[in-house]
Amino acid sequence: GDSVTQMEGPVTLSEEAFLTINCTYTATGYPSLFWYVQYPGEGLQLLLKATKADDKGSNKGFEATYRKETTSFHLEKGSVQVSDSAVYFCALSPQAAGNKLTFGGGTRVLVKP
Amino acid sequence: NAGVTQTPKFQVLKTGQSMTLQCAQDMNHNSMYWYRQDPGMGLRLIYYSASEGTTDKGEVPNGYNVSRLNKREFSLRLESAAPSQTSVYFCASSGNRDNQPQHFGDGTRLSIL
């Protein structure tokens, strides 16, 4: 079945450091890919998405590129802030399956001043 | 600007007790979902409803029942709670067109003793 694997955390960074969170997936066909973010005590919010190969999703300084050849959707940000401390989830929606999501295990990111 | 509202926010139950978690959305979405979130496992789909009057099992449906009361409301019921059901439960909703993001509530933290 479909699955998403992302790097385990926690990832601890200093402010203004470069952030990368790796995400790889297993799915048939051409799924849509998403990154969601969860701030403490809150539900998940969509951060960005990409719906076809080579698409780049971007939002709030975060970027991720849909790489079909490596089945990856790594999340990057060039200069993190303390406010970026959160749990980040990679997810996929299988092709022609409505909007059901399969999530990775989540990566906790802690940014220190 | 409520979005997805879940009640209650916290609950403690004894093994064998029953409980219904409530969820309502005000975005006129057709699809609604129930997930559970456990450490290191991301979110796992319990049940979903693609439209009023329809429900389908997700990845981990055992021990749960759902009701799609109307377009706005989707409830999750634990008939006989077990300690393994201790988790954080999230409700979400989305439109029906492909690649629509899911909108999440703030979650219900449920402990079963």
Dump pLDDT digits (tens) for A70-97: 999 999 999 999 999 999 999 999 877 6
pLDDT over 90 (residue B101): no
d(CA B29, CA B33): 11
Q: Is B1 within 8 Å of chain A by CB?
A: no
Q: Is A3 within 8 Å of chain B by CB?
A: no
Number of H helices, E strands in chain A: 0, 12
Dump pLDDT digits (tens) for A14-53: 999 999 999 999 998 889 999 999 998 888 999 999 999 9
Coil, strand or helix at A37: strand
**Structure letter (DSSP) for residue B73:** B
Average per-residue pLDDT for chain B: 93
Q: Is A41 within 8 Å of chain B by CB?
A: yes
User: What pLDDT sits at residue B18?
Assistant: 96
User: What pLDDT sits at residue A8?
Assistant: 83
Dump pLDDT digits (tens) for B8-25: 999 999 999 999 999 999
| Radius of gyration, CA atoms only, chain A | 13
Coil, strand or helix at A40: coil
Which is higher by pLDDT, B2 or B83? B83
Task: With beta carbons under 8 A apart, name residues in chain A contacting B58.
Answer: 100
Do A101 and B104 form a contact (C-beta atoms < 8 A)? Answer: no
Nearest chain B residue to A1 by CA distance is: B59
Confidence of residue B1 (pLDDT cuts 50, 70, 90): low
Q: Which of B4, B31, B106 sits opposite A99 (nearest CB)?
A: B31
Tell me the sheet residues that pair with B49.
Answer: B32
C-alpha triplet A20, B89, A1: angle, nearest 5°: 60
Do A15 and A7 form a contact (C-beta atoms < 8 A)? Answer: no
pLDDT over 90 (residue B100): no
